[in-house]
Structure 1
Amino acid sequence: MSTPDVLEAHADDEGLRLSLPRGAEDRPVDLLLDDQRIGSFWLERDTVEREGARWWAWPAALRPHLVGRTRLSLVDHASSEQLAALDLVLGGPSDPEQRIVVADAQGNPLGLDKSMRLMRLFADRSAEHLDPLLDSIEDVLAALRSCGVEGFVAYGTLLGAVRQGGFIGHDSDADLGYVSAHDHPADVVRESFRLQRALVEMGYPVTRYSGLAFKIFVQESDGTRRGLDVFGGFLREGVLYLMGEVGHPFEREWIWPLGTASLEGREVPVPAQPEHLLAAMYGESWRVPDPAYQFETPASTRRRLNGWFRGTRVQREEVWDPYYSRRGAGAKDRPSDFVRWVRRRERRAVRAVDIGCGTGADVAFLARHGVEAVGLDYCRRAFARKQRKLARRDLPATFRWANLTEVRSTLVTGALLSRSPGPTVVLARHVADATNADGRANLLRLARMALGGQGRLYLQVLSAPAPGGNPLGVHPIDVDALEEQVRASGGTVVARHDLAGERPGETDPGATPYLCRLVVQWPQ
């Protein structure tokens, strides 16, 4: 139990329950387990209210380690004042004396980074471990310079160099940036791809995030393969756009000519007046350490950067690619009850489009019934196995990559689909409830283009939390608001079915509905 007049805290296998003193100021705190700093969070901003207290759930990456005994402490990050301390037993250990250990397989301590991933943080690394990283930074900056671009350290690496002359203890990676001499998005994208080709020719493996950001992999002297992020930027109409988070009024002389700062005893290039870039990245309070800092990019900046350069990888590497990799060849892959229900209602359909097709099981079902089926998905890895299998069997099925959060992808895909004649049905099972408002608008736009007034769109969404947990990436949405969005697109909801399970009529009629199916039409 903590000191009551400071902060009352309780913990269980789900998370932390905190009772804050009345009028307490929101502030970041460090979470320690047996005196090892694990991560940080803000007492109010990063918690939710539950039964008169604040609740902080254990991050998903940390949960597997929470088995055993520990001494939990919450410490004010700025003053190092201990706010709460309690002894815990979590996870039901078989050995009553087992201690919680948050470390990798080699025993190196791990901590939560800003993305709530468990990483080896700089605070737990010696100078011997940091030297290979510094060597990599110098190598990559030299490679960029040989390609005609003057790079500099950026984001947390720049912040640490300017504020304290070294890496930030709670950080885990290094970032680089550059500002192009071009001022048009198309030209800076062309330059970025030219840089990538040149670096690959030098022997550097490179993977791309977007039209203006990529990661360079470097083999360090200790054998570690490290990736350094390179964020491109450019000045346009008095605004600096730097990939990641920046869209801010800026002057050329704040960047050029580049200056230097000390990073762990080495001189590294920085913008001419780095305080202006740090203010654009972290706000005017950048000098005050905040281990739980969250970027709050203005919507206008995010829309510009998405429209110009990115939108093709959101959650793909973090969620969908790993998910479909784990499924493996032996995973169950059966058609859904939803596609069977649609097929019963649309016997005359000769063509179908499955938006968000996933593994392609519903596409295969339709193709086996003689329907010319097209599967669309954001993750190519999801349908790759089914695509090869159906091609070998010469079934009428094709697959395409499509991204509902990109207007360009939506319009191109919709134009291609609109060229195929014949009665059409479009299916979208757990798509509207797995994307954002822009994605839902593009879902309706794509369906309308594909149908051309000659068929119907069938939607299935989660309208309330599902018993046993929601499907991966899916969250309940307001179906009434979705219907309003349909009407705003010019469509009509011709049928609505609220269900307490996948199969209508096969569940307890008294059960609470949590699924909703909508049938939508647009006029010719």
Structure 2
Amino acid sequence: MEPAPPAGDLLTALSVDDDGIAFRGTEDRSVDVRFDDQRIGSFWTQRDTVEQGPGRRWRWPDALRPYLNGRTAVTVLDHVSQAPLGAVEVALGTGEGRVRVADAKGNPLGLDKSNRLRRLFASRSAEHTEPLLDAIEKVLGALTAAGVRPFIAYGTLLGAVREGALIGHDSDADLGYVSAHEHPYDVVLESFRLQRSLVELGYPVTRYSGIAFKVGVREGDGRMRGLDVFGGFLRDGHLHLMGEVRAPFRMEWMYPTSTTTLEGRELPAPREPEHLLAAMYGPSWRVPDPAYKFETPPSTYRRLSGWFRGTQANRERVWDPFYLRTHGQQTSPSAFVRWVLRRERGRAETAFDVGCGAGADAAFLARQGIAAAGFDYARRAFGKRAKAARRGRLPLRYQWMSLTELRSVLPLGVELSQVSGTKVMLARHVADATTAYGRANLLRLARMALDGGRLYLQVATAPSPDLPYGVRPLDLDAFLAEIDRSGGRVVARHDLTRDTVRVRSRIDAGTPDAPPYLTRLVVQWP
């Protein structure tokens, strides 16, 4: 395969293989990729690539790789001017036939801004987009009748204001509204009232969070189309709009609404839409960018999650499916809890197992006469054991809690601090399975609850095929620094190799000089 001819300073020495597109260039710009005459996707030449030798490489997104079999002419174009920057004929995969990126019905697919393959608006005729526009008008009318003032939002608003049309590289439609309420609690109540009104009108609704949901609209051919509805409100001089916006804002920029034209239809828009578009897409929103990536500030994400997303974070996508597959069955106590018991027998009166999972360790401690409580944010994990505990006579209970929600951690910390007697807390593969925020809250909870008692931790410190599901090895020095900042003192530390620890209820054969991959810590707060 010969490299394409040079294309100026932006992109030279273009080559294509099964791993992606390689080139040389130092300018960062949005470019489009075509296979033959079909636009496949877009990327930024510096931001979305990795360094490779003297040049850069854009790796094929995972969603695209199953289609990379055959020959095709790969062309890279400047997105704004559509000037070709390089082209090459290439054989990918088997090299047989022509590469075709399409759905089962032969409709062309393209990568959206999240690198998911979708049927994009650029490949749809007016006949196909008319039902979408009808659905937008219907749901806007239903929301208005329910008592809010909706408008088209995000990419739908951007396309209408900038081009008067649906954006070619987009694939869905978004609506929004700004509540008259200022308190999150009232905004959530209003959102659920909107949902009930829509359901009464016959619309199926799927909820994303406290103030965001999807409305299903059935088209003439029987196909169900979903429209996302994002709620928002003003508080402390800032607009908070799900999806994820927090920006200085004035209500007079929003209401009374104006209108804008989308594919020949007049639809409601914010009174001064440029302010909302700048909050959504930045000051350069007028310049088309099919590879646009919205980077949510961590403070905004935490704020909106705390108000509206609650217990959803990572649970429905990761942990509920895991416990559904495994039926929540950890039937035998871990080697870790046996180690804790050897150190605490005859001393500890109460034990709190944070991130208890299926709850076997808490049940084991209760059978030893220690009052035990297991806490986890995936109820599916301990559900069966919780029912059995309520029926039995053991000093055992299970309770939901989430380390990534301060409103969950603080009340529980106060409650556990009132428990009298000698207390210990266990956290086996919790610090290495949660976020930095979750680790900070784990240490906060222990400091509040233990009153001089001990926190027992087991964390992974190196990769290993034996690590439990969802665990990511920690930088131990960084974690020790977190403990120190919390006021805690490590009073014992044990580094473990495979020949010194039982993992998943079996002894793994190790070598005498095997490096440690697990560390157990005992922490106390004065």
Question: TM-score range, shorter-chain basis?
Answer: 0.7 to 0.9
* 1:90-133 residue CA offsets vs partner (Å, 9 max, x unmatched): 4xx6xx63765544444444333333333332233333332332
- Is 1:247 the counterpart of 2:250? The answer is no
C-alpha deviation, 1:376, in angstroms: 2.8
Cα distance in structure 1, aligned partners of 2:213 and 2:413: 29
C-alpha deviation, 1:154, in angstroms: 0.6
Which of 467, 480, 483 is equivalent to 1:483? Answer: 480
- Is 1:40 the counterpart of 2:37? The answer is no
Cα distance in structure 2, aligned partners of 1:240 and 1:49: 39
Runs (4+) of structure 1 moved beyond 6 Å? 330-334, 389-395
Aligned twin of 1:69: 70
Q: TM-score scaled by structure 1?
A: 0.84
Query: Pairwise mapping of residues 310-389 of structure 1 onto structure 2 (< 5 A)?
Result: 310-325=309-324, 327=325, 329=327, 336-348=334-346, 349=348, 351-360=350-359, 362-363=361-362, 366=365, 372-384=371-383, 387=386
Per the alignment, do residues 133 and 411 of structure 1 end up closer, same or farther by CA in structure 2, a change over 3 Å counting?
Answer: same
Per the alignment, do residues 190 and 83 of structure 1 end up closer, same or farther by CA in structure 2, a change over 3 Å counting?
Answer: same
| 2:312 alignment partner, SS class | coil
C-alpha deviation, 1:444, in angstroms: 0.9
Runs of at least 5 residues in structure 2 that lack an aligned partner in the other structure: 502-507
Cα distance in structure 2, aligned partners of 1:232 and 1:453: 45
Aligned twin of 2:159: 160
Letter in 2 for 1:77: H
Task: Answer with 239-248 or 154-163: which moved more.
Answer: 239-248
Aligned sequence identity (%): 60
- Is 1:280 the counterpart of 2:279? The answer is yes
Letter in 2 for 1:20: R
* 1:373-411 residue CA offsets vs partner (Å, 9 max, x unmatched): 433333334444555576677766543332222211111
Aligned twin of 1:188: 187
Work out the number of aligned pairs and report it. 512
- Is 1:78 the counterpart of 2:80? The answer is yes
Runs of at least 5 residues in structure 1 that lack an aligned partner in the other structure: none
Whether contact under 8 Å (2:162, 2:286) holds in the other structure is yes
**Rg larger in structure:** 2
Aligned twin of 2:133: 134
Whether contact under 8 Å (1:502, 1:515) holds in the other structure is no
Per the alignment, do residues 189 and 452 of structure 1 end up closer, same or farther by CA in structure 2, a change over 3 Å counting?
Answer: same
Whether contact under 8 Å (1:457, 1:521) holds in the other structure is no
- Is 1:494 the counterpart of 2:495? The answer is no
Aligned twin of 2:504: none
Whether contact under 8 Å (2:406, 2:441) holds in the other structure is yes
Cα distance in structure 2, aligned partners of 1:332 and 1:73: 53
Query: Pairwise mapping of residues 231-270 of structure 1 onto structure 2 (< 5 A)?
Result: 231-270=230-269
- Is 1:459 the counterpart of 2:433? The answer is no
C-alpha deviation, 1:179, in angstroms: 1.2
Which of 92, 95, 99 is equivalent to 1:89? Answer: 92
Whether contact under 8 Å (1:8, 1:84) holds in the other structure is no
Per the alignment, do residues 272 and 85 of structure 1 end up closer, same or farther by CA in structure 2, a change over 3 Å counting?
Answer: same
| 2:182 alignment partner, SS class | coil
Whether contact under 8 Å (1:113, 1:119) holds in the other structure is yes
Per the alignment, do residues 102 and 423 of structure 1 end up closer, same or farther by CA in structure 2, a change over 3 Å counting?
Answer: farther
Per the alignment, do residues 164 and 457 of structure 1 end up closer, same or farther by CA in structure 2, a change over 3 Å counting?
Answer: same
Letter in 2 for 1:489: S
* 1:273-311 residue CA offsets vs partner (Å, 9 max, x unmatched): 111111111111101111111113344544443443334
Whether contact under 8 Å (1:3, 1:83) holds in the other structure is yes
Per the alignment, do residues 103 and 281 of structure 1 end up closer, same or farther by CA in structure 2, a change over 3 Å counting?
Answer: same
- Is 1:20 the counterpart of 2:47? The answer is no
Per the alignment, do residues 510 and 131 of structure 1 end up closer, same or farther by CA in structure 2, a change over 3 Å counting?
Answer: farther
Cα distance in structure 1, aligned partners of 2:229 and 2:129: 19
Cα distance in structure 2, aligned partners of 1:284 and 1:487: 42
Q: RMSD of the TM alignment (CA)?
A: 3.4
Per the alignment, do residues 9 and 364 of structure 1 end up closer, same or farther by CA in structure 2, a change over 3 Å counting?
Answer: farther
